Amino acid sequence: MKRRNFVQSLLVVPATTVVAEQVAPPPATPQSPAPVARPAQGGQNPPKFALTLPDSAAETVTGFFNPAQFSALNKLAEILVPPMKNNPGALDAHAPEFLDFLISRSPAPSQVLYREGLDGLNAAAKKHFHKSFAELDAKQADSIIRPLLVARAWDKDVPKDPMQHFMTQVHGDLRIATTNSAEWAAAAPARGRGRFNSGRRMYWKPIDPRVGA
């Protein structure tokens, strides 16, 4: 009897295993990852995007001069280089903003000259009129500026007085920044031919040397 039971158990176990294998689901087959889209090759040109100059998309941000100094520089630009004969003035050409950038990248002596010069204008305005230089009217501002404008034998002849030196420097810088601006170039057709109109639309743009091309 024991032997018969042993043989029966041998016959039952394989049958049970086969049934279990038929009922159990087959193992899941791992799915292949979705193909990655690759750029087309073989003569197709990549897409081109229109570029916009930063100065035409947003206002220039100033940062070197403090608000009082920059306001004094704006006043100087308005007085020293006004618009004339279809030409933009220094304010129209954003020359103060350009000089704010330029002086921030200039050697220390130029930075000191500008900051102390603009502070000196504000100090003189406070002393004589109890206002900031930017708040002065044309007559009041002229009384402060005119004694600081001196004749020079040649461009390299720098006045010894620090304020006269500053006024000479800022006057020249404002004129150069204005005549080399995009606004000056755009006004070339209205000016016609002349010394400052070569027919070529060339002008300066601030370029930060810390940013690679």
Percent of the chain with pLDDT over 70: 58
Note the pTM of the prediction, 2 decimals: 0.63
Does residue 122 form part of some domain?
yes
Strand partners, 87: 84
Does residue 113 form part of some domain?
yes
> How much is the mean pLDDT over the chain?
76
Residue 174: pLDDT band with limits 50, 70, 90: very high
Domain count across the chain: 1
* pLDDT, mean of residues 46-51: 54
Residue 6: pLDDT band with limits 50, 70, 90: very low
Does residue 6 form part of some domain?
no
Does residue 7 form part of some domain?
no
Residue position matching structure tokens 């930063």:
54
**What would the DSSP string read from start to end of the chain?**
-HHHHHHHHHHHHHHHHHHHHHHSPPPPPPPPPPPPP----SSPPPP------HHHHSPPPP-SS-HHHHHHHHHHHHHHS--BTTB--TTTTTHHHHHHHHHHTS-HHHHHHHHHHHHHHHHHHHHHHSS-GGG--HHHHHHHHGGG----SSTT---SSHHHHHHHHHHHHHHHHHHTSHHHHHTHHHH-SBTTB-S---------TTS--
Rg (the chain; Cα; Å): 39
- What's the pLDDT at 92? 95
Cβ neighbours of 187 (radius 10 Å)? 19
Q: Helices 108-129 and 95-104: crossing angle, nearest 10°?
A: 130
pLDDT at 91 over 80: yes
* Domain region containing 187: 60-191
Residue 189: pLDDT band with limits 50, 70, 90: confident
- What's the pLDDT at 199? 43
In angstroms, the CA 201 to CA 187 distance is 10
Does residue 168 form part of some domain?
yes
pLDDT digits 0-9 by tens, 115-142: 999 999 999 999 999 999 999 999 999 9
Does residue 152 form part of some domain?
yes
Where b means 16+ CB within 10 Å and e means fewer, 71-95 reads: bbbbbbbbbbbebeeebbbbbbbbb
pLDDT at 155 over 50: yes
In angstroms, the CA 137 to CA 131 distance is 10
Residue 10: pLDDT band with limits 50, 70, 90: very low
Which structure tokens are listed for 62? 């100033």
Does residue 46 form part of some domain?
no
pLDDT at 76 over 50: yes
Residue 41: pLDDT band with limits 50, 70, 90: low
Is the distance from CB of 134 to CB of 74 less than 8 angstroms? yes
